[in-house]
Amino acid sequence: MARRSKLDIIVNADTKSAVSGLGNVSTKLGGIARSIASIGGAAAVAGFAGAATGIRQITKDSIALGTEMDRVMKTTGATEQELAGLRVAAIQEHASFQTLTGGLKFLSRAMEEAKAGVDTYADAFKDAGIDPSTFGDKSAVDVFRLLADAFKGMDSESKKVQISMDLMSRSGETLVPLLNKGSGFLDEMQREAEKAGLVFDGMAAQTKTIDDNFTTLKLKMEGFKLQAFSGFADELLKATNAFNGLDFAQIGREIGAGIGPLISGLVALTQGTTRVQQGITNVIQPTVTAAVQSKSQGENNFVTAFRILDANLRSLTTAITGIDPGQ
């Protein structure tokens, strides 16, 4: 299958028709803009917010996958195409990509140890019918394929589990169902990965660079904050020293001592106001009562009422001032 260029991927057209493809993209974007205009400002803002969230998630997921692929490529000698196919194969057999890559990295180490004559690893390969002396420049993926063919023709499941765990540590047992499929299944899954667009030449290196750039940016922002802090650190130190030199317990006691009399004064004022109000009520109420009673009895109610009012006012004045105005 011919490799397609990055421009092909962007416009979904052959390179020869890239111009028309870009024109189609422009038309689609124009349609999107008109649709946004028709649904109103609030909905448009919500739509853009959702799109931004989606873009952030796409970026996060792609960088995580690409950087992991980059690490595995460097430690195992695998290609992006091979890893893309193995990833699809692993997913089909209910194994995570992290399990697969962990197994490949351990397998790469086991290969080196076996070539160096370490019996534990050399014997495990021999139990699978693989001679470590034939590895040469084979990558971990090449040897993984050899193991897949060996497992496909092997009857003992317990033996498969033991070999896989010896050569791929804890990931090995989980990868046995995948290995049982043989290398033909791995080839088929690589073709499926290409059809699904999961093979992007240079993606691992590109995402690794982007991830490095983000790391650099984070460090620069940290440096920015530290430099900004250094500009007011001296004054902040003086202020914190000054605050720490204060006796907050004593300040609290002084404030409390000042608040106490204030509260007492407010209580006294409230009580005094209440007494005055009660006193006025005591003056007026009997006067009104006397006036009503004297009227019902046919007396001169106004004279009676004012006489009672005068007597009560004298009592109220005496109660407040201590002076009897009648003397």
Distance CA 270, CA 99 (A): 77
With beta carbons less than 8 A apart as the criterion, state whether 78 and 72 touch.
yes
Regarding whether 170 and 83 lie in a shared domain, the answer is: yes
Pick from 150, 183, 201: which residue ends a domain?
201
Regarding whether 195 and 111 lie in a shared domain, the answer is: yes
Tell me the pTM. Answer: 0.48
Best CA proximity match to 213, nearest among 37, 292, 221, 10 = 221
Q: Tokens at residue 303, please?
A: 């004279």
3-class SS of residue 116: coil
Regarding whether 274 and 166 lie in a shared domain, the answer is: no
Helix axes 157-179, 140-152, angle to 10 degrees: 120
Model pLDDT, residue 13: 42
Pick from 154, 172, 201: which residue ends a domain?
201
With beta carbons less than 8 A apart as the criterion, state whether 93 and 178 touch.
yes
Domain that holds residue 145: 77-201
| Cα–Cα distance list, 128 to 133, 154, 156, 192, 270 (Å) | 14, 8, 11, 28, 97
Highest mean pLDDT among 69-73, 116-120, 269-273: 116-120
Q: Region 14-33: what's the mean pLDDT?
A: 53
Q: How many CB atoms lie within 10 A of CB 132?
A: 21
**170 lies in a domain?**
yes
Judge whether residue 326 has pLDDT over 80: no
Regarding whether 275 and 197 lie in a shared domain, the answer is: no
Regarding whether 162 and 83 lie in a shared domain, the answer is: yes
What DSSP letter does each residue of 237-287 carry, written as one string?
HHHHHHHHTS-HHHHHHHHHHHHHHHHHHHHHHHHHHHHHHHHHHHHHHHH
**102 lies in a domain?**
yes
Residue type, 266: L
Judge whether residue 156 has pLDDT over 60: yes
Residue type, 257: A
Regarding whether 274 and 190 lie in a shared domain, the answer is: no
**25 lies in a domain?**
no
**167 lies in a domain?**
yes
Q: What is the chain's length? A: 327
Over residues 45-61, the pLDDT tens digits come to: 555 555 556 666 655 65
Distance CA 162, CA 146 (A): 16
The label of the residue with tokens 């091979």 reads: 82
pLDDT bracket for residue 228 (50, 70, 90): confident
Best CA proximity match to 82, nearest among 91, 73, 92, 93 = 73
Greater confidence (320 vs 74) lies with 74
**50 lies in a domain?**
no
**264 lies in a domain?**
no
Greater confidence (163 vs 23) lies with 163
Regarding whether 191 and 111 lie in a shared domain, the answer is: yes
- In our burial notation (b when 16+ CB lie closer than 10 A, e otherwise), range 195-217 reads eeebbbeebbeebbeebeeeeee
3-class SS of residue 29: helix
**30 lies in a domain?**
no
With beta carbons less than 8 A apart as the criterion, state whether 302 and 288 touch.
no
Regarding whether 177 and 90 lie in a shared domain, the answer is: yes
State the chain's mean pLDDT as an integer. 74
Over residues 232-291, the pLDDT tens digits come to: 878 888 888 888 887 888 888 877 777 777 777 777 767 766 766 676 676 666 766 766
Judge whether residue 30 has pLDDT over 70: no
Greater confidence (115 vs 278) lies with 115
Regarding whether 284 and 196 lie in a shared domain, the answer is: no
With beta carbons less than 8 A apart as the criterion, state whether 102 and 90 touch.
no
Regarding whether 285 and 189 lie in a shared domain, the answer is: no
3-class SS of residue 2: coil
Report the number of distinct structural domains present in the chain: 2
Pick from 143, 173, 201: which residue ends a domain?
201
Over residues 169-191, the pLDDT tens digits come to: 989 999 999 999 999 999 998 88
Regarding whether 161 and 84 lie in a shared domain, the answer is: yes
The label of the residue with tokens 């073709």 reads: 191
Model pLDDT, residue 12: 43
**Per-residue DSSP letter, 13:** S
Regarding whether 170 and 285 lie in a shared domain, the answer is: no
Best CA proximity match to 83, nearest among 200, 210, 163, 170 = 200
**206 lies in a domain?**
no
Q: What is the CA radius of gyration of the chain?
A: 45
Q: Tokens at residue 186, please?
A: 């791995």
